[in-house]
Structure 1
């Protein structure tokens, strides 16, 4: 029977013949002759296609594709649309018993069908982001030894010292442009989780793609395992990391040095290295040590600073007061608080203050109380000393607020509820619109809830938090608490870096990102208390941040991509990851040249 040349069956037959010819030519069909029979291994099938998360479409493969790729019969006969796939997944997700189960389900989808995973994340950002990252990722890290199923990054242990580059060579993709690395010593507000901290870089890089469109193949999560001081995990039979106390000192520093050098050797000088959840004593010195040598930043210091300052800039449109005329009290004096303070100084310099004058408006509170010069309890680190005032020591937070009378109360201590009813009432008595930021993660570590803040201040406050809180109905008005999550900042910064090859990341870029983010907050957002744009707009917001940073980078000769694109926004948008499935164009056998050609 003659088969029409344009029919799907004929294309399938041509594809079959071409695969058979190529396979035979490369001797991939092994034959064994015995006395009475010949046995031949099976032809290559398309089953591997369904196991490749970047190529798999699941039930969305068309009938032609199923025949041409030899997966016909491996799937149910109905062809689904991508929209129906999303609806089916979300229906299952919502019926699961708890958020950890939902986290596991989303990870399984990412392992199975990458484009569908990101389509789900992009179309249901508000619902999915708290499951992919904070607050659920904190619980996932604590349970990591139980739920680990498939590698999504690299584990490099102190036992690999001297061979870090060899471990990096095991990663199958050469074009890596963004690395997120942790050593697990200070995961969120949960402390030392050791190897279990891998959930953080995996989650961060998922947001790079979902929220900014950085292509997932460019991203590599890494955990540096140097041990843990957490006795619970050292005695946990399911713990997957090294069972020894943390390595410190010169051996640790040499290991991190080797890692940084190996990244550049393997992936190039423009590869972004984002530090996550290192302990304070290491985070500040690594930032100072590496920032002028590598394309690197610390998200806990600089990313948190940028998103917080964006919220502060937005809040001035509600309070009507300039930053230079306001006082700030930070509950906590670690990476986040000092990072925010340093970037606030940059913002106040834009309003005409000197750095020294700006620091006089900022007051830090640590576990020993208000940070002052000549503190009786002992010395201060270099970072804290910048904000030490000539003031009598005060240990109680409410007494500090009574004395300082701040317009802004910002929590980043990770110690849980600290902004009591009495403190919130005091802030409302001092200010018409007190600004209350409870930034500690996860939710259990927040300094107060959105409801507590709005109800205690009688709806007067401007509120934002690190973890999401539901809307609050109070006195006939709906308040929408803003989530001051770093995910508003680092994906856009990453997008700018990987598309324009930005070599170094000065503080000015983080101020510019904060300013750009605050400009995306509309008047309607402010009316309901939002100091950040709705999460549904975050992909567009990330692109605008990337464009602003790219323009600055080209002005300051920080970008290595040449020639400069004529239209940076169009160029960056063209580089963003798309979740639409690609049509599979099968090869055909060109009989004249005996080669494969595209149809």
Structure 2
């Protein structure tokens, strides 16, 4: 890194320390007269940041403030985020990032990340040279078509890629310079966006068919040429494209889809943990999923692997999993079942959602619909009738799209539900009882997996890595957390979780013959040595 001087140094977010520069540094680096007299260390700067942050009246204003901090002082931003992860992660990512994406063009300030449009066809490799960093290890890419539960947001979806890379840094210690957010801006079918004067994206209908896939293909191959050590994370693609792209590239390059594999792993971890509360054997569980999109399909497929690992045959494993969609229970007599869901279609009468719960009596109910309120009072009460401690996991983001709130789950089940959600909910009170709802946040999984891939230089990313990550995450839940009904660990331990997952991923990479570098015997110390610790 070239050491800058004077105003150029203060304008560089990676090197700027602002008021923390010492007297000697101010003399040596041409900063005298450019800063106030007092020297403030990073802890003092954090107090100023938090004071200003907490004075903001809305979460979107807090998001803008934090983004501005990232643009001017990278180390202070990440140090503050790491030290106050419970408070700041929901502002940097879900649920606030949903609103930020909707408003992205209206709150845009400085460029972050890399944009590729159809007009770049044939030149993607050459324009990647315009990115100022060359040792890229993590790329988060979206095409903006299915942003959280909000749908097609076009180029505004860049907020997702930016947010995910921030989580890699804060939650797993990947160096900021090694992360690249990418927007495949292939147009949008959101007419309101295209008519918005302030919209910044490619203002045409989305590419489809071969034109779309050939552009993605060029991008993926350009990444292999320019950033051969990079892990490619696909994010918020619509369901059909998500699976097609994953199937196309997973055996060629190091890549994964967080909506499919990350969501599946964090959900599986929660189900594992719930068994410590219900005292049921995982292999005995019956699991029902509402939704048949990429998240639900990915959960189902990883659950099959988990049941097989627990001793069941594949047929028996699939018999434990039941899917429900708008038409009711997915059964084999139905026509037009999605190809990924068909193996889970049972020989059973076609019944409604409520009737399916009555007949199947699932131990665990998982929502991945993107539709608010689908776990209504009747559904939650029916689950509570079937089991003393029903497990209800409402995954959909942002909060406005969740299947039910924490307060609803506890109230309708008389406090007996074991609840987790994709977005955070505050502590709930029901009479004299206090409940601390757990958040099934993918930030528990993908940063640690990414760190493990970086550490092992694994050629590919496998499902076994995600199955192992789920087991590690479940094992990280403390007994005192289990005793208050939490099935995930506190977010303030997420870096410890990521460290443990990365070690396990390295071990899987070794066992599967995918690690391209010889790994040291002390994996814990080695992985720790790779983790970025922001400070001055």
**Do the two structures share a fold, i.e. TM-score over 0.5?**
yes
Give the match for residue 3 of structure 1.
none
Q: Distance in 2 between matches of 1:51 and 1:340?
A: 45
Of 446, 463, 469, the match for 2:419:
463
Q: CA deviation at 1:325?
A: 1.5
Matched, 1:191 2:151: yes
Give the match for residue 429 of structure 2.
473
Instruction: Check whether the contact 2:464–2:508 (CA below 8 A) recurs between aligned residues.
Output: no
Q: Distance in 2 between matches of 1:150 and 1:225?
A: 18
Q: Distance in 1 between matches of 2:230 and 2:26?
A: 38
Of 385, 402, 416, the match for 1:429:
385
Give the match for residue 311 of structure 1.
270
Q: Distance in 2 between matches of 1:77 and 1:317?
A: 56
Q: Which runs of 5+ in 1 are unaligned?
A: 1-18, 20-43, 582-599
Q: Distance in 1 between matches of 2:178 and 2:528?
A: 16
Give the match for residue 150 of structure 1.
110
Matched, 1:390 2:347: yes
Write out aligned runs for 1:20-39 (5 A). Answer: none
Q: Distance in 2 between matches of 1:388 and 1:170?
A: 49
Q: Distance in 1 between matches of 2:511 and 2:463?
A: 15
Q: CA deviation at 1:414?
A: 0.2
**TM-superposition CA deviations, 1:214-272 (whole Å, max 9, x none):** 1111100000011111111011111111111111001111111111100000011x310
Give the match for residue 63 of structure 2.
103
Write out aligned runs for 1:295-334 (5 A). Answer: 295-334=254-293
Matched, 1:166 2:123: no
User: What is the number of equivalent residue pairs in this alignment?
Assistant: 534
Q: TM-score, normalised by structure 1?
A: 0.88
Q: CA deviation at 1:499?
A: 2.1
Of 73, 80, 91, the match for 1:120:
80
Give the match for residue 337 of structure 2.
380
Q: CA deviation at 1:369?
A: 2.0
Of 365, 371, 380, the match for 2:324:
365
Of 385, 405, 421, the match for 2:361:
405
Q: CA deviation at 1:556?
A: 2.0
Q: Structure 1: which 4+ aligned runs deviate by more than 6 Å?
A: none
Give the match for residue 525 of structure 2.
570
Q: Distance in 2 between matches of 1:112 and 1:575?
A: 24
Matched, 1:217 2:177: yes
Matched, 1:561 2:520: no
Instruction: Check whether the contact 2:135–2:227 (CA below 8 A) recurs between aligned residues.
Output: yes
Q: In terms of mean alpha carbon deviation, does 359-368 or 181-190 score higher?
A: 359-368
Q: Distance in 1 between matches of 2:231 and 2:253?
A: 8
Q: CA deviation at 1:392?
A: 1.8
Write out aligned runs for 1:184-333 (5 A). Answer: 184-268=144-228, 270-333=229-292
Of 462, 465, 470, the match for 1:506:
462
Secondary structure at the counterpart of residue 344 of structure 2: coil
Matched, 1:350 2:289: no
Q: CA deviation at 1:365?
A: 1.2
Q: CA deviation at 1:381?
A: 2.1
Of 465, 489, 496, the match for 1:533:
489
In our comparison, the structure showing a higher alpha carbon Rg is 1
Q: CA deviation at 1:45?
A: 5.2
Q: Distance in 2 between matches of 1:205 and 1:133?
A: 10
Give the match for residue 79 of structure 1.
39
Q: Distance in 1 between matches of 2:521 and 2:302?
A: 31
**TM-superposition CA deviations, 1:373-397 (whole Å, max 9, x none):** 131xx41221011111112222x32
Secondary structure at the counterpart of residue 383 of structure 1: coil
Secondary structure at the counterpart of residue 173 of structure 1: coil
What is the Cα-based RMSD across aligned positions, in Å? 1.2
Secondary structure at the counterpart of residue 110 of structure 2: coil
Instruction: Check whether the contact 2:391–2:417 (CA below 8 A) recurs between aligned residues.
Output: yes
